[in-house]
Amino acid sequence: MIALSFAEIAAVTGGDLRVAGTDTAQTVADGVVDTDSRNMRAGGIFVAKPGAETDGHRFVGAAVEAGAVLAIVEHVVDAPVSQIVVPDAVAALGALARAVVAKVRAAGDLKIVGITGSNGKTTTKNLLHRVLQEEGETVAPINSYNNEVGAPVTMLRVTESTRYLVSEFGAAGPGSIAHLAGLVEPDVAVVLMVGLAHAGGFGGIEATAKAKAELIAAARPGGTAILNADDPRVWAMREIAHDRGMNVIGFGQGADAEVRASGIQVAADGTRATITVAGESFPLHLQVLGAHHISNALAAIAAARVLGVPAEVAIARIETVEVAERWRMQPMGSDRVRIINDAYNASPDSMAAALRTLAQITGPDERTVAVLGAMSELGDSAGEEHDRIGLLAVRLNIRRIVVVGPEARRLYLAAVGEGSWDSEAVHLPDQEAAFEYLRTELRDGDRVLVKSSNSVGLRHLGDRLGELFS
């Protein structure tokens, strides 16, 4: 973080400063800002966030031992550190992020990109980060730091020398993207897609679309909206962008896409396509598995181009990315038994895309195996969507369908009902049972997809299988 005095931090957070020891109101903090005491370093600010399972106030002492010089708290803690007492620690974190980014922006040439969408945010963020980091200092989220805590923590990593801030915005509910994006007012706003991910928390897909459109409404007037022209709900957001005087760039495969992909071919070593930008065409070999990631690459190329990076340069840098993120279409195992661990998140769209990729990259003498867990946060559509994935797996001729956990039983029943009989589909109660089954069932030539929502935890099963067959 940029250097700020305790008095300045108290002012922007609306808190009551209580100095300790030899500190004064003019003492400066310039280290990391975080809610996790384990991430503290010298000069850092620890934000004591109350939580459902634990309370950050319990860890103020540990944060001080790790180097924190200031704590933002909701009540005074008995610890040898200066403290700013605020009504709401998370709100104070956001207020501090807003002030720091505004100060850096006013003093220099900081450009901010905001990314949202039901799927693909983290992959797009990582591809764009790879492109921009060679242009200048670039701050981007670690993992999926895209909520009311993770997004501000990322924003607070900017310094006077930061040239680009790439922010990823997830939606906990209506208004959450508006709040997070409003902290920084992105110059470039990217909306990837509207799907059923987390639709249960919004009341349906149309409400989800309104939530994603909050990014465009919160972006800087006169900036640029980069929209998926193949998704009608996203493409309709161009009206909001036009009302705000924003330039609109479409990406996709259709005629409305200014940044367009054609000739997509999926193979075990990645996905190839021809990328056309402003009438010029370039070949792309994306090492990240799956045709669905071509759309994410297009969004990154479009955003980079707005920021002055030529398309051919962006493509060359994107081609060096081997894995988008841990547990996202991550190749593991060996040529003998290849594991694709894609169990960090799952929605109906991403589940279907991953199954299609598995079918596309498996040769005629190899066997497809799908290890599937539940998709969470689908609300009233959960049963129907699990049925749909079970049917799709059979219609894609996935040879072994291994369904894990009671919440995914409907997926198994749908597969059986569609014709996956004679042990082609099995239902197992938990990860341990699945591991024991798979360690003897898998054989040379198998191509295995492990896919579930994060809460199910099948990513750990994927790690175990990857190690077993490495």
Binding positions for ATP are 117-123
Nearest 5°: CA angle at 377, between 374 and 379?
A: 105
Return left, alpha or beta for 185; rule: phi > 0 is left, psi -120 to 50 is alpha, else beta. left
Q: The dihedral of CA 233, 239, 308, 100: what is its sign?
A: negative
Q: Are 344 and 421 in contact (CB under 8 A)?
A: no
Cβ neighbours of 377 (radius 10 Å): 17
Report CA Rg, the chain: 23
Strand segments, DSSP code E, in 279-323 are: 280-286
Closest CA to 427 of 402, 461, 394, 398: 402
d(CA 342, CA 39): 27
Closest CA to 300 of 105, 112, 110, 113: 113
Q: Are 285 and 319 in contact (CB under 8 A)?
A: yes
Instruction: Report the binding-site residues.
Output: 117-123
d(CA 228, CA 240): 14
Q: Are 196 and 348 in contact (CB under 8 A)?
A: yes
User: Residue with structure tokens 């896409």?
Assistant: 257
Strand segments, DSSP code E, in 215-279 are: 224-228, 247-252, 259-267, 270-277
**CA separation, residue 132 to residues 112, 125, 127, 301, 391 (Å):** 12, 10, 9, 10, 41
Q: To which H or E segment does residue 404 belong?
A: strand 400-404
Kindly state the tokens that stand for 344: 């960090």
d(CA 424, CA 404): 14
d(CA 47, CA 90): 8
Q: Are 57 and 74 in contact (CB under 8 A)?
A: yes
d(CA 183, CA 151): 10
Closest CA to 389 of 379, 406, 374, 367: 374
Please name the residues in contact with 313: beta carbons below 8 A apart, sequence gap of 6 or more.
Answer: 131, 304
